[in-house]
A and B are shown apart, each in its own frame.
Chain A
Amino acid sequence: QQQVKQSPQSLIVQKGGISIINCAYENTAFDYFPWYQQFPGKGPALLIAIRPDVSEKKEGRFTISFNKSAKQFSLHIMDSQPGDSATYFCAAPGGYQKVTFGIGTKLQVIP
């Protein structure tokens, strides 16, 4: 069973700051690493994903950085806004047709 270690579990960032969430995985023969965003009372929603043939992918204020040799990938939220306050999950392929999620990071952006 693939293990995905996500940190930190909680994060408080001031408005306009950079939020950084990290994930480490063990092994995978498959290359697709997504991040999901979940607001209270809602289901997770796909935010951004990367295939490790590139080291970085940027969509608006959200960037994934990928380090294949270290088996790590991270989510950077630039110019963090109060509306970004949510729980963020990383995920990695966990075996045949399975996906393993990280434990989640609760982000709070304060004005």
Chain B
Amino acid sequence: NAGVTQTPKFQVLKTGQSMTLQCAQDMNHEYMSWYRQDPGMGLRLIHYSVGAGITDQGEVPNGYNVSRSTTEDFPLRLLSAAPSQTSVYFCASRRTGYNYGYTFGSGTRLTVV
């Protein structure tokens, strides 16, 4: 199994540009989420989904959109990139319920200039 696959691994954007970070999982996990990781801030939840067609906001949702049309895919869209969105982004999935740990992707390092 590939697990959770994120693309691209690195990206540089100019302020105001838009882009989509891709995330796909092949474990048939119902729950998927996006986190950003910043120095001294830990992992902060951006958006999450408990199944196809269902999404909700996390702790830091502003400037990001998500959709979940299939169980496998959960793309994250940056609408108009800002330098404050420079970060490492992780997609994670797990089975629904609280007794399951996450499987994380390898991350996308995004720099907004």
With contact pairs A97-B48, A98-B48 given, residues A43 and B107 touching in the complex (Cβ less than 8 Å)? yes
Q: How far is the CB of B98 from chain A (nearest CB, A)?
A: 4
Determine if B31 is an interface residue (Cβ-Cβ < 8 Å).
yes
Which of B11-19, B37-45, B65-73, B74-82 participates in binding chain A?
B37-45
What is the interface size of chain B, counting residues whose CB is below 8 A from a CB of the partner? 28
With A44-B90, A97-B31, A97-B48: A32-B98 Cβ-Cβ less than 8 Å: yes
Q: Number of A residues whose C-beta is below 8 Å from B?
A: 27
Are A93 and B98 also in contact (CB < 8 A) when A98-B48, A103-B40 are? yes
B33-53 contact mask (Cβ, 8 Å, vs A): 1 or 0: 101000011111100101000
The answer to whether B48 touches A46, judged by C-beta atoms less than 8 angstroms apart, is no
Chain B interface residues (CB < 8 Å from chain A): 4, 31, 33, 35, 40-45, 48, 50, 56, 58-59, 90, 92, 96, 98-107
Known A-B contacts: A41-B107, A97-B48. Give 4 more (CB < 8 A): A36-B101, A43-B90, A46-B103, A101-B44
